[in-house]
Structure 1
Amino acid sequence: MTDARLTLADVFAARRRLDGRIARTALVPSPSLAERVGVPVHLKLEQRQITGSFKLRGATNALLALSEDARARGVVAASTGNHGRALAHAARKAGVRCVVCMSRLVPGNKVEGIRRLGAEIRIVGRSQDDAQKEVDRLVAEESLTMLPPFDHPDIIAGQGTLGLELVEDCPELETVLVPLSGGGLIAGVALAVKTAKPDARVVGISMARGAAMHASLMAGRPVAVEELPTLADSLGGGIGLGNRWTFRMVRELVDEIVLLDEAEIAAAVRHAYWQEQEVVEGAAAVGIGALLAGKVRPHGPAVAVLSGRNIDMSLHQRLIAGEDVQLDATAG
């Protein structure tokens, strides 16, 4: 880990860099969830970014922060789908070569979405760690610049701009529920929210199957976990044994981590569609799932971040119809 620290000034610098390049997404009330938990609940509709997820913030900020020389060499990243799509979009806008490395667990719809944006695709192995080995090779052999999906200061600062919007649009918020994977989103959001509101609770929500950040925090250091098929596929992958930024920030800034089983994730996707009229992927629905399951019980105004919509629509149709989807059917 590094001794350097991100500050709110870095998040505001990211906001200036992103001005006009991303959407300021809506924050809307959820009467159905408010009735369920007894306090006001709002949904941050980050799935409405042009690439379908919050990842556009960090990827665009990090790419724009690169030197001209680094951009000229091109960029590369490992991804479970959404970061790759965001980086491909930002790179195409900037005229920069982009290579995205993914494992065979990444759903086909996410792979094709990245390919359509003009990125070069490399499918390697069955885990994010396998994909990262290909990234490392390309950095060494072709001098590409790595922009990882979460463990990078400019990525975290970009995601933190979402937190700025939360405290501006809902100054009374007391609890924020944030999907948790490698920690880039929750680290940035927690930095912004807790700087403005130190007493606010930031809760990370992940899946029970292969939650790497949770396992690492329990161990007191970054650890490897087996990557398993899950309805929350965007939350898969490790945090990197050499994690330099997000492990420490999550440990210091996040108040609680909650894990959901597959049935709870499926119920959340269904609720988002039938009650909120929102199409979201499993990873994006976990905040809703935690409230529905009673695993988070806020005592004041709460916000659940809906982080992405890039779900295979045939899978979505099966989920909202109430089908008990078998996990191997989600492996992609």
Structure 2
Amino acid sequence: MSEDPFVSVDEIVAARRTIAGAIRHTPVEPSASLSGRTGVPVTLKLEHHQHSGSFKFRGATNAVLSLTPAERAAGVVGVSTGNHGRGLARAAAAAGVRCVIAMSELVPANKVAAIRGEGADVLIGGRSQDEAQQAVDRLVAEGMTMIPPFDDRRVIAGQGTLGLEMLEDMPAVDTVVVPLSGGGLISGVAAALKARKSGIRVVGVSMERGAAMHASLAAGRPVEVRELPTLADSLGGGIGLGNRHTFVMVRALVDDVVLLTEAEIALGIHHCYWQERQIVEGSGAVGVAALLAGKIALEGPTMLLLSGGNIDMALHHRVVSGETVDVADEAA
């Protein structure tokens, strides 16, 4: 009998118990500026205040704390665009487990340095996550345990704890807006929300440059896309042609997906800083950016998930100062 690809709310509740002593229940703040602009109550879930600077710490912690003694002794390895690596490195260090993170050459230097600062060994190679995955596969063959960034029951369940929090923080919420990359975050959040509240709407937001899940949904199956430089760098990477969980969960549970230009993402970062007084990376600001761009129609109370704050501060300064920044030109 094949494994059910859907992660259940019971698994998410169990994950919440597992990670309760390790994570922060991150705060929520009403946004007067966005509420005034949209005409409905808009609240921000400040998950960029989580340990390691992003939601990734939730799933990584649940996965590490679920390891067998033999797996703990052998160590863990993962591939990352930055935030999963940092979350996994911190979770492994807290548990006394060796950790190796493989990343492509497109990962910003500040995120590489942060992962090393958490105590992990770092391997850099290739121009995509798929190429970086080859190094992970070699280490798994040598006995280490891979903890994927998104397509894993333990990881999805850990990220889903955010959905439980969000509904407790704003019981009247009608629409939840979530950054979308490989789908581990939005799958878990949507599974939790829709199990607890009928009729709630979940909207995913990604960038126009290399949105793998969006392309896969359009094709009706997981497909590869070219990974391109973007201000929303944490949303880069493929979903895996052998995707086991997140593709079917996103297809079934997410009501809409919208894409943003680089200029729109920059405005989201700019707004978060000047209007909300929050330092948020591009991937974490896409929900705000989508509202500013008028790409999501709102009918009732709305919560935006600010998922990460691990942006290079020199880049952040340029964006919030109004400079036109195209990371693709700078990477060429």
Name the TM-score class by shorter chain: over 0.9
> Structure 2: how far apart are the matches of 1:85 and 1:216?
27
Tell me, yes or no, if the aligned pair for 1:201 and 1:254 is still in contact at 8 Å: yes
Shift of 1:326: 2.1
User: Partner of 1:278 in structure 2?
Assistant: 278
User: Partner of 1:221 in structure 2?
Assistant: 221
* 1:296-320 deviation digits (Å, cap 9, x = unpaired): 0110000000000000000000000
User: Partner of 1:188 in structure 2?
Assistant: 188
Query: Share of identical aligned residues, percent?
Result: 63
> Structure 1: how far apart are the matches of 2:330 and 2:291?
24
User: Partner of 2:161 in structure 1?
Assistant: 161
Shift of 1:169: 1.1
Shift of 1:3: 3.1
> Is 1:252 the counterpart of 2:270 in the alignment?
no
> Is 1:235 the counterpart of 2:235 in the alignment?
yes
> Structure 1: how far apart are the matches of 2:256 and 2:302?
14
User: Partner of 1:101 in structure 2?
Assistant: 102
Tell me, yes or no, if the aligned pair for 2:105 and 2:126 is still in contact at 8 Å: yes
Q: Report the CA distance shift for 1:114/1:331 in structure 2 as closer, same or farther (over 3 A).
A: farther
> Structure 2: how far apart are the matches of 1:330 and 1:245?
35
Shift of 1:331: 4.3
* 1:152-199 deviation digits (Å, cap 9, x = unpaired): 000000000000001111010000000000000000000011111120
Letter in 2 for 1:10: E
Letter in 2 for 1:209: R
> Structure 2: how far apart are the matches of 1:224 and 1:232?
18
User: Partner of 2:209 in structure 1?
Assistant: 209
Tell me, yes or no, if the aligned pair for 1:15 and 1:158 is still in contact at 8 Å: yes
* 1:35-80 deviation digits (Å, cap 9, x = unpaired): 0111000000000012000000000001101111111100000000
Q: How does 1:48-127 map to 2 (within 5 A)?
A: 48-127=49-128
User: Partner of 1:10 in structure 2?
Assistant: 11
Q: How does 1:170-189 map to 2 (within 5 A)?
A: 170-189=170-189
User: Partner of 2:52: helix, strand, or coil?
Assistant: coil
> Structure 1: how far apart are the matches of 2:69 and 2:28?
36
Q: Report the CA distance shift for 1:228/1:81 in structure 2 as closer, same or farther (over 3 A).
A: same
> Structure 1: how far apart are the matches of 2:47 and 2:104?
25
> Structure 1: how far apart are the matches of 2:275 and 2:107?
28
> Where does structure 2 lack aligned partners over 5 or more consecutive residues?
none
Letter in 2 for 1:222: P
Q: How many residues align?
A: 331
* 1:105-133 deviation digits (Å, cap 9, x = unpaired): 00000000000111000001010101111
User: Partner of 2:30 in structure 1?
Assistant: 29
Shift of 1:5: 3.1
> Structure 2: how far apart are the matches of 1:312 and 1:230?
13
Tell me, yes or no, if the aligned pair for 2:233 and 2:282 is still in contact at 8 Å: yes
User: Partner of 1:327 in structure 2?
Assistant: 327
> Is 1:287 the counterpart of 2:287 in the alignment?
yes
> Where does structure 1 lack aligned partners over 5 or more consecutive residues?
none
Tell me, yes or no, if the aligned pair for 2:228 and 2:328 is still in contact at 8 Å: no
User: Partner of 1:151 in structure 2?
Assistant: 151
Tell me, yes or no, if the aligned pair for 2:78 and 2:100 is still in contact at 8 Å: yes
Letter in 1 for 2:88: L
Tell me, yes or no, if the aligned pair for 1:206 and 1:257 is still in contact at 8 Å: yes
User: Partner of 1:42 in structure 2?
Assistant: 43
Shift of 1:6: 1.7
Tell me, yes or no, if the aligned pair for 2:190 and 2:202 is still in contact at 8 Å: yes
> Structure 2: how far apart are the matches of 1:62 and 1:174?
30
Q: Is the deviation greater in 4-13 or in 213-222?
A: 4-13
Tell me, yes or no, if the aligned pair for 2:269 and 2:280 is still in contact at 8 Å: yes
Tell me, yes or no, if the aligned pair for 1:231 and 1:330 is still in contact at 8 Å: no
Shift of 1:329: 5.7
Q: Normalising by the residue count of structure 1, what TM-score does the alignment of the two structures yield?
A: 0.98
Q: Normalising by the residue count of structure 2, what TM-score does the alignment of the two structures yield?
A: 0.98
Tell me, yes or no, if the aligned pair for 1:159 and 1:189 is still in contact at 8 Å: yes
